[in-house]
Amino acid sequence: MPLASAPVPLYSTLVPRCTGQAWNDSSEEAVAAILQQKRGRWGVLTLYRGRRKWQTVGEGEEGRRASQALATEVNRQLELRARRESSEFLGWHVPGTPLPIDRAFYDWLLHYGPTVRRATLERYRTHVENQLVPYFGPKDLAGIRDTDVIGFASTAFAAGAARDPVLNALSCMRRVVHLALERGHLETNPLPRLVRLAKQVARAQGKTKVRADAWTKEEAATLLTFSSKHEPHFYPLL
């Protein structure tokens, strides 16, 4: 007589809870995204501050995997929300001390990402991760000068980047600078002519055509290679 298969558990935790504790109805801070099998279909039951939300995904192994991916993403979003609620933009920085550009960019994405549409946020994230952070690294934002902007734009254009992705990336930097000024983390604007300089470099190199609003990883790698060989003064501080 064949052995009976093991029963499928009602709840199957996939990823660590954001709070590191089990969920219960009396806890307002408990957060969880749990995979569950319900009526033969897989889905995700999110338990957040005493509220429940069920999302049906699909059947079979494909449904289970898709549910697992959704549960992981839900937990990621809930963790980001918890981080936003427990901190302020640049709240970790002490005015008068170096302000690392890379950390400031990621903090900007965390706190101001929810204020824009998802597609816009992904565009910003691409600019930050593929262009700005690889080039500028942890350099002090207060120490950035016009020559750094010229170096970024000229090496990007020489590596084959189009005009708009470069200007849009620098617009992200301008937003971070202005927010840092408003909150007292910068005493003066280190880049008052930031975008104007980039446009001047674009005109000088004949970059007038509009292309996609983001660089690929291959384009970013080409930029860094070109910079290290031909513009060592501007090569990113990694």
Model pLDDT, residue 198: 83
Choose among 21, 14, 51, 4: nearest CA to 36: 14
Choose among 148, 168, 163, 106: nearest CA to 236: 148
Model pLDDT, residue 27: 44
Query: Per CATH, the architecture of 101-205 is what?
Result: Orthogonal Bundle (1.10)
Q: Over the chain, what HEC string results?
A: CCCCCCCCCCEEECCCCCCCCCCCCCCCCCEEEEEEEECCEEEEEEEECCEEEEEEEEEHHHHHHHHHHHHHHHHHHHHHHHHHHCCCCCCCCCCCCCCEHHHHHHHHHHHHHHHCCHHHHHHHHHHHHHHHHHHHCCCEHHHCCHHHHHHHHHHHHHCCCCHHHHHHHHHHHHHHHHHHHHCCCCCCCCCCCHHHHHHHHHHHCCCCCCCCCCCCHHHHHHHHHHHHHHCHHHCCCC
Higher pLDDT, 115 or 123: 123
Residue for token pair 């991760």: 129
pLDDT single digits (tens) 24-75: 444 445 455 767 676 788 888 888 777 888 888 888 889 888 988 888 888 8
Model pLDDT, residue 40: 80
Domain boundaries, the chain: 32-85, 101-205
Q: Which two tokens stand for residue 212?
A: 């996609």
Q: How many residues does the chain have?
A: 238
pLDDT single digits (tens) 130-189: 999 999 999 999 999 999 999 999 888 888 888 888 999 999 999 999 999 999 999 999
